[in-house]
Structure 1
Amino acid sequence: MIRPSLIDYMKILVLMILPFVMSCQEAVPIDLSMLDDAIDVKTALDNMSIRNVQTQNGYWEIVKTGEKVEAKLRDNGNISTIYSLKGEQEEKLFAFANFNIKKNTGGKIVENGNKIVFVNITLEATETFKVLEHLKEKLGIPDQIISDSVFYNAADDKVNLILKNVEQDNVKIQKDEFEDEYLVYPLHFVWNQNGYIYKYTLIINETSFSNDLVILSKKAFNDKLIFGYHNPKEDPIFKVYFEE
């Protein structure tokens, strides 16, 4: 009977440990702030463990039949792939610069023509204003700042939250025709840069801010590829960027 040598035992040990080591290695997240980088996007996305992946054939068209108006897909041979993120493990596959996707908020990424043409994610709530500063540094002065308002009451938690966190140059008190006072603050920041439209939204909760980030390729917008932005002429924020 031939007894295994020390080297044989070491080989067996390596083979037992290797799967564990490989499982502990996390993939380097795709940085969604660097969409212009020349990488093989389709291959990179397909190699990730994303469970909900759908193929979209064509573009969206608004169709009116009598009183009924609906969006329908028209197949023109243009193929998009939609990746819907769910759960912490899938969210960890992506980042925006040095900022992480907020746990269990999901996300949506669309690929077309080997490029990422749409992103919708929520980043960590505690980083909301740091993300805003990063966007200003990266993209410059916003093309649009769209405001919202809350009834002004100095003792109100939301009012104090706005006054404490939002740059004072972007906040003002206005009166309506009944002399009621409202606190006006920025809701959406919009940039049009390098072939993409960025929309960063401040979301006020009872005691804190959260956020929502949308990045949309102008080509995908004009081509009506993204449901929810499929009627560009009527989009209340993005319609100024539509080119027929």
Structure 2
Amino acid sequence: MKLNKNYIFIIYIFLLGCKPETLNLDTINFQAQDLLKSIKTSKVENQIGAWSLDSSKSPFLEGDKTSTHYYFRTPDEIKQLNFNNLPLDDIGAKLVTLDNKLIFASFSLEKENTFDVYNHLEQKLGAPQQTFNTIAYDKSNDEVLIILNNLTEKQGVKKIIDEYDDELITYPYQNTWIKNNIIYQYTLIRGKEAFSNKLVIITKEALTEKIIFGYHNSTNDPILGKYLK
């Protein structure tokens, strides 16, 4: 039986409407709860207060600011999220909202897209502040070949000679950008078959208000501290 073209088109539109909603984390300025309320998560926690340090440097919560913390742990939950339409790795993700705004996101992209994400961030945000790592320069080393095939000298890759006359290659393992009071920190994680990655997006407000544990003492962080001045 032949189907009418209009009928086929209606079926196609219907199937598109049945696709699960996905959230593009490349755009952080949105009304958070309006979108997240339709997203399935493993766990949602309301945190009351911001992090402070007592005289013994032990962190504790104080104050009445309420933030909402969303945890994505299963593959089906993580499939609801993407970054620049690229899929996230299934190791998990965390989002935090404050006053109906997304203020923090932490996740990894699939390994095969590690350098595509780096290039996208560079095109979107410009040249990053970089922290470099080194590895022995050996073209038979798979990790070295991955660096040489995916990053350029302009992006911070170069050969150096250390004090022992050993040849090394440097590469930007951690890259930080700030735009419109939003900080992006992208880490390249070495691997023999492929490099993995981690992307943290945090607003300046989240840092100054000390909402996120692990980022509650950023004034002493050599990278993030400069953005709080």
Interval containing the TM-score (normalised by the shorter chain): 0.7 to 0.9
Could you say what secondary structure the match of 1:117 adopts?
Answer: strand
Q: Within the alignment, does 1:118 sit opposite 2:111 as a pair?
A: no
Q: Look up the match of 2:88.
A: 101
Q: Within the alignment, does 1:165 sit opposite 2:135 as a pair?
A: no
* Structure 2 counterparts to residues 81-160 of structure 1, below 5 A: 81-102=68-89, 104-142=90-128, 144-160=129-145
How far is 1:70 from its partner?
Answer: 1.7
CA–CA distance in 1 between the matches of 2:166 and 2:179?
Answer: 39
CA–CA distance in 2 between the matches of 1:174 and 1:136?
Answer: 24
CA–CA distance in 2 between the matches of 1:187 and 1:95?
Answer: 22
CA–CA distance in 1 between the matches of 2:205 and 2:141?
Answer: 43
Q: Look up the match of 1:26.
A: 19
CA–CA distance in 2 between the matches of 1:52 and 1:77?
Answer: 21
Could you say what secondary structure the match of 2:146 adopts?
Answer: helix
Could you say what secondary structure the match of 1:64 adopts?
Answer: coil
Could you say what secondary structure the match of 2:55 adopts?
Answer: strand
* Structure 2 counterparts to residues 8-19 of structure 1, below 5 A: none
Structure 1 letter corresponding to 2:33: K
Structure 2 letter corresponding to 1:28: E
Deviations 1:34-85 (A, max 9, x none): 1124x3x1232133221211111111112233xxx321111x1100111111
Q: Look up the match of 2:180.
A: 194
What TM-score do the two structures reach when normalised by structure 1?
0.82
Match of residue 228, structure 1, among 204, 214, 226? 214
CA–CA distance in 2 between the matches of 1:138 and 1:148?
Answer: 24
- Identical-residue share of aligned pairs (%): 34
Q: Look up the match of 1:11.
A: none
Structure 1 letter corresponding to 2:74: G
How far is 1:25 from its partner?
Answer: 2.7
Q: Look up the match of 2:33.
A: 42
Could you say what secondary structure the match of 1:80 adopts?
Answer: strand
Match of residue 215, structure 1, among 194, 198, 201? 201
Q: What is the aligned length?
A: 214
Deviations 1:99-144 (A, max 9, x none): 1111x211010011100000011111111111112112221222x0
| Bigger-Rg structure (1/2) | 1
CA–CA distance in 1 between the matches of 2:145 and 2:28?
Answer: 37
What TM-score do the two structures reach when normalised by structure 2?
0.87
CA–CA distance in 2 between the matches of 1:43 and 1:51?
Answer: 18
Q: Look up the match of 2:46.
A: 55
Could you say what secondary structure the match of 1:119 adopts?
Answer: strand
Could you say what secondary structure the match of 1:207 adopts?
Answer: coil
CA–CA distance in 2 between the matches of 1:165 and 1:30?
Answer: 28
How far is 1:178 from its partner?
Answer: 2.2
Could you say what secondary structure the match of 1:219 adopts?
Answer: helix
Q: Unaligned stretches of 5+ in structure 2? A: 1-13
Q: Is the 8 A contact 2:21 2:39 kept in 1?
A: no
Moved >6 Å (runs of 4+) = none
Deviations 1:165-204 (A, max 9, x none): 2113321122222222221111112111011000111111
CA–CA distance in 2 between the matches of 1:62 and 1:181?
Answer: 44
Q: Look up the match of 1:9.
A: none
Q: Is the 8 A contact 2:88 2:109 kept in 1?
A: yes
